[in-house]
Amino acid sequence: MRPDNPLRPGLVLSWPARNPTKADPMKRRLILSAIVFLAGWAAALAQLHFWALKTESRPSENPTPADIAVVLGNSVNRKGAPNPCLRSRVEAGAALYRQGLAGGLLMSGGTDGDGSNEAEAMRDMAVSMGVPADKIRIEPRSESTYENIAFSAPLLHDAEQIIIVSDAFHLARAEWLAKRHWPGKTVRLHASGSCGDSTPNYLRKLSREILAWLKTATLHR
């Protein structure tokens, strides 16, 4: 005997029809917002990149020697190996000293998660590159660009002409902070060389720098 059909012949089931006019405007607004955000983010990346290229390519703003070059820190190690980006910054600072363009160096950077201290590691690198230890000052506590600049201020009491050394894309924010925390000082910029970043990694760095700019502009006006 066949089981009864649960649906009676002639019975038609129906559901309320979806009204596209209610959902579509919201969907369009979300899509438009996403497009505007992505376009703005891409424009910010491009602006930061071109500013970095301009900084790398422009000649020295002032050929006269500075009293000191402040080298901003970076992680000592990356993926278990010495960080080439940190070494690149130290090499740039050491070159300024050897060329007579900086009377000394100030290494600024705190302690990483693995216990390595950035300022101490940079000092040791610079000494190995021929910079006398007595020409190197260290600021070993900072954990951000803001702290690099703020914590270095007391160590710059006898310096008037200062060069900041860092990656090109990082220098604009460092200069912005220096003008607020080093009143009366003349600040110049010097970009370190390339440290072999892949394109994806470089774009990640630019993205982090944009976020850091937003934080800096909000907290340290």
Query: Does residue 32 lie within any of the structural domains?
Result: no
pLDDT tens for residues 184-196? 999 999 999 888 7
Query: Does residue 8 lie within any of the structural domains?
Result: no
Predicted local distance difference test score (pLDDT) of residue 31 = 79
Predicted local distance difference test score (pLDDT) of residue 217 = 79
CATH number at residue 133: 3.40.50.620
Strands (E), 56-104: 68-72, 77-78, 81-82
Domain that holds residue 150: 56-219
Predicted local distance difference test score (pLDDT) of residue 119 = 97
pLDDT tens for residues 143-199? 999 999 999 999 999 999 999 999 988 999 999 999 999 999 999 999 998 887 788
**For residue 219, with 0-12 CB atoms within 10 Å meaning exposed, 13-18 middle and 19 or more buried, which class applies?**
exposed
Query: Does residue 168 lie within any of the structural domains?
Result: yes
The number of distinct structural domains making up the chain is 1
pLDDT greater than 80 at residue 8: no
Query: Does residue 89 lie within any of the structural domains?
Result: yes
Q: What is the mean pLDDT of the chain?
A: 85
